[in-house]
Amino acid sequence: MKKIPFILCLLILLIGMTLPAAAQTPVLTVTADNSAKSGMPGAVVVYTLTLTNTGSSPLNLTAADPDSLNGWPASVNLTDASLDPAESTTAIVSVAIPASASDGNMDVTTVRFLDGSNEVGRIGLTTTARRPQPTAAGRPLLVLDSYGVSGDSEITPGQEFELRLTLVNRGQDFARNVLITFTGSDFLPVDTGGVRALNEVDPAEKVNVFQPLIANPALSGQSVATLTVNLTYTNLDGSESFTEALTITINLKKPSSGGPARPTATPTLISRPQLVVTAYQTDVDPLQPGAIFELKLDIRNLGTANARSVTMVLGGGAGVNDQGTPVPGTSELSTFAPLGASNLIFLGDVPVGETISATQKLIVNVTANPGAYPFKLSFIYDDEKGMRQVNDQVITLLIYQLPQVEVGFYRDPGIFYTNQMSMLPLQVTNLGRKTAVLGNMRVTSPNADITNNVTLVGSLEPGGYFTLDANIMPFQPGPLDIEISINYTDDFNQPRTITQTLTVEVMEMPTPEFPTDGFPPEPPPPAEETFWQKVLRFLRGLIGLDSAEPTPVPSFPMPGEPMPGEGIPPGEPIPVPVEPLPRPKG
């Protein structure tokens, strides 16, 4: 009987050892401000991540290169790499949408955080390309403005959640009898049978639609899943019906693998440097093909050890040969090339927590197209133990191709007088190498009244020109500044304005001078014809010459000359110049 308690204890111990152990709590919790965002093609979408150390030991974090489903460029910037238990920090993830992306194209970027070589946390970010949607004339047009899920940004297979859709009417008519259906095998509708209905959506109105769903348990092990949303609606009078099909992507959470319970090993804090580009800027803004600019980088050591003999490699692709010497490898310098020095820059030692600045002159390739370009950087340095380390990072540079136009006169405008309406013969010439699409051209001046001063320029081929004849009435004499502004949209769909100034000279309007009595002088009467003059005219007529009486030609003095009769005493005859007649032949 004394052996019974011992046997019972042994059975309980054996049963406890065979029970499955609970999964360990994740060491790092990663959350995003919004795990699904959208942007225009060519734009850069920025995510803010919050990293929290939920373990019991300090973490020295590094970010691996992001994994992109479709190869969209992405970069990660950690604010603080060292985290004590229960501490939090932030990380910035930048995803560049290619300029060639079509409307609705999606990409899933997976960001992984490591402690040494062990992965301690990850998150999936969904980026969607959205081009500006034109309004549909005379009809309603329902499009998806945004969507999200309740709770965590990632859904566990088998979990019930609520999906939020924000619809907007981009058309010019009312959308009525809106029917929304959810189809697909990845997500199963709950309560409503997968059907939602709206009575009416006004033009430009946004409405929210909520639908409870359950993620199919068969999705276990996958990172993303899709859901199809079908829209059916009519116009205001019900004479036409319309159908739209939307496809959305939802991130899934991979289950953590468990194992038998083991004692938690206390991690050993690894002393190593970690160089991070905390800020960068260019002295030329914006960058255009052929532009020469200086790139300034702020580099900080966020690690726990000093970085010795730091060398930065522009274009990335750096490595270390067998002798421990840094080599450039296959650097990507087809878009941005260094000037004045090679792409290897020696920075020296960077102590822990210190920030240094590095500058390099670069040139943009003249064949580069507008868009967002990732520029890779490699840092090669030694730790305190003399081990050679390589750290790669990516920054993003934007290239624009702005129109190059010149505003001038297509002919000499002449002289301008005060309070006198004149014409401005303006001409806009495209000096660039590509077609420029320009908006409204406006001509203004603070000291003149200008009419016919607004017009639409439109498309200008290389070397082409556009003319505008504006009417101007200056108010005061002297130099007059005329400002010409032209609106247009740049390569990233942002409004811009070209402003140029022309200067013309304005003169005072001259005042006409009249005699004191207010009337112009009358011409003197013709002199009486003599007898011999009459005989001479008779003879001229016999031989076929002109024999008409001479007609006096009125003579008006030029400004400053005396009037006829001025300076002659009263009563004296006024001399009239008479040209002598030619002698008759024979």
Quickly list DSSP for 204-220: T-EEEEEEEEEE-GGGT
Contact criterion met (CB below 8 Å) for 40 and 492 = yes
Q: Which of 297, 315, 251 is nearest to 109 (CA)?
A: 251
Residue 11 φ/ψ, nearest 5 degrees: -65, -45
Contacts of 171 (CB under 8 A, 6+ apart): 135, 136, 139, 140, 141, 142, 203
Contacts of 436 (CB under 8 A, 6+ apart): 403, 404, 405, 430, 459, 460, 488
At position 110, the amino acid (one-letter code) is T
The answer regarding whether domain 275-399 maps to CATH 2.60.40.10 reads yes
CATH number for the region 405-507 comes to: 2.60.40.10
CB count within 10 Å of CB 86 equals 10
Tokens for 403, please give them.
Answer: 């129109």
Cis peptide preceding 286, ω within 30 of 0:
yes
- H or E segment and range at residue 14: helix 3-18
Domain ranges for the chain = 25-128, 133-255, 275-399, 405-507
Q: Which residue has the tokens 């090993």?
A: 265
Q: Is the fold of 25-128 the same as that of 405-507?
A: yes
End-to-end Cα, the chain, rounded Å: 183
Instruction: Note the pLDDT of residue 23.
Output: 39
Cα–Cα dist 165/179, whole Å: 13
Instruction: Note the pLDDT of residue 22.
Output: 38
Instruction: Note the pLDDT of residue 503.
Output: 93
**Three-state SS string across 134-189, please?**
CCCCCCCCEEEEEEEECCCCCECCCCEEEEEEEEEECCCCCEEEEEEEEECCCEEE
> Of 2.60.40.10, 2.40.50.1020, 3.40.50.300, 3.40.190.10, which CATH number belongs to 133-255?
2.60.40.10
Q: What is the mean pLDDT of each run of 10 residues along the chain (586 residues)?
A: 53 49 61 87 87 87 87 84 86 88 87 87 90 65 86 78 89 88 84 82 89 84 84 88 86 63 54 87 92 93 88 79 59 87 89 91 92 90 84 89 93 91 94 92 94 93 94 93 94 91 91 61 70 81 74 56 57 58 53
Cα–Cα dist 438/486, whole Å: 7
**Three-state SS string across 488-545, please?**
EECCCCCEEEEEEEEEEEEECCCCCCCCCCCCCCCCCCCCCCCHHHHHHHHHHHHCCC
- Name 88's bridge partners: 52
Tokens for 35, please give them.
Answer: 């795990």
Distance of CA 416 to the CA centre of its chain: 41
CATH number for the region 25-128 comes to: 2.60.40.10
Q: Three-state SS for 24?
A: coil
